[in-house]
């Protein structure tokens, strides 16, 4: 649970910093987000599945009919994303620089 929260936190923080912040270079968001997802999946996929998105976990669960521990993949991304927004707001002084 904690690792999934951390993975989603990092991903959301990168999305906020590279995709929404005016100070980020134009065209940088796709590369930053793509590399973040790739690195997290490569490093932590074997451990947790590196879901980072409830919809990403729902499809395989529906097809396989396996619902054990599914709640982790719904709770962790929501908590991680909320924590990332709170942290980003604190660090960027309330989103003043975001379009």
In angstroms, the CA 49 to CA 43 distance is 10
Question: Global pTM?
Answer: 0.85
Task: Look at residue 97 and tell me whether its pLDDT is greater than 90.
Answer: no
Pick the CATH number of 2-91 from 3.40.50.300, 1.10.3480.10, 1.20.1080.10, 1.10.3470.10: 1.20.1080.10
CA dihedral in degrees (86, 88, 92, 95; nearest 10)?
-70
Q: What percent of the chain has pLDDT over 90?
A: 57
- DSSP, residue by residue, 18-86: IIIBTTSPTT-HHHHHHHHHHHHHHHHHHHH----SHHHHHHHHHHHT--TTTTHHHHHHHHHHHHHHH
Give the pLDDT confidence score for residue 20 in this predicted structure: 85
């Amino acid at each position: 649970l904690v690792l999934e929260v951390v993975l989603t936190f990092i991903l959301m923080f990168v999305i906020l910093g590279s995709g929404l912040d005016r100070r980020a270079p134009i065209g940088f968001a796709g590369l930053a987000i793509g590399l973040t997802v790739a690195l997290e999946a490569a490093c932590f996929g074997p451990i947790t599945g590196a879901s980072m998105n409830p919809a990403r976990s729902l499809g395989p669960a529906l097809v396989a009919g396996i619902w054990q521990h599914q709640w982790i993949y719904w709770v962790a991304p929501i908590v991680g994303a909320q924590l990332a927004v709170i942290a980003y707001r604190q660090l960027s002084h309330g989103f003043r620089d975001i379009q």
